[in-house]
Structures are given as structure tokens and as C-alpha cells.
Amino acid sequence: MKQLASAFLALCLITTGVSAWAGRAATPVGEIAAAALPAEARAVLASIKAGGPFAYAKDGSVFGNREKLLPPRRRGYYREYTVKTPGARDRGARRIVAGEGASGDVRSSGEYYYSDDHYNSFRRIRE
């Protein structure tokens, strides 16, 4: 009986953990002030608002939000931009993701998220 109770408890914990992970809240982890961003990120944010230029061909491409960390929106709502990582030989792990917002335009939406760990976490940029 004791083994059965232990097995049931373990199953409940596993199920709860899986459910919590699968249904995790679709919100950014926190916020970051624009002034607190690395200089490279501030430059990319300025380029987004100006409509370019951008350093990488993939900048401005659709961000699918597969990680489901950002608020759920239709496909194409979010765009991603590379933030240069000093010393990186490739695009690195830093990105800004811009949402279209109410304006429908990432240049003026005010909806910007920063990730310094390749989409494992996000912080909303507070301007």
C-alpha cells in the first residue's frame, strides 16, 4: 500500500510539472530599461525605429514565438533582429523581438523584447 501511495504521489508530481510547463504563462520574464541595454542593443532598437539599416540578412524576419514566452499573437506579428555580440563569430545569442502593436508597424509599436540567451528568456524593453 505504501508503494502504491508513493507511486501515485510521484505520478501526481510529474503530471503537475508537465502541465505547468506545457501551459506556462506567455509573458516576458521581466523588464529592462532601454538605457540599461547594452550599447549594441540600443543601436539595434534605434535602427528598428528608423526602418534600418540592419547588419544581418535575417533581421526583420518573422519570429514564430515557438517558445511561447511572449504573448500569443498571429504568425507574422513578431519580427526578430540580431544584436551583435562582441567577439562572437556568428550572430550570437542576443536578439530584439519587435511586435506590431496597435499601430501595426514595428517602427512605432513600442512593443520590444530583449533576449540575451537566444530566446530562452525575454525582458520587455521599457522606454
Residues carrying an active site annotation: 80, 118
| Three-state DSSP class for residue 99 | strand
Q: Tell me the C-alpha to C-alpha distance, in Å, between residue 28 and each of 16, 103, 113.
A: 22, 21, 8
Q: What is the grid cell recorded at 72? A: 500569443
Residue 19 Cα to chain centre, angstroms: 21
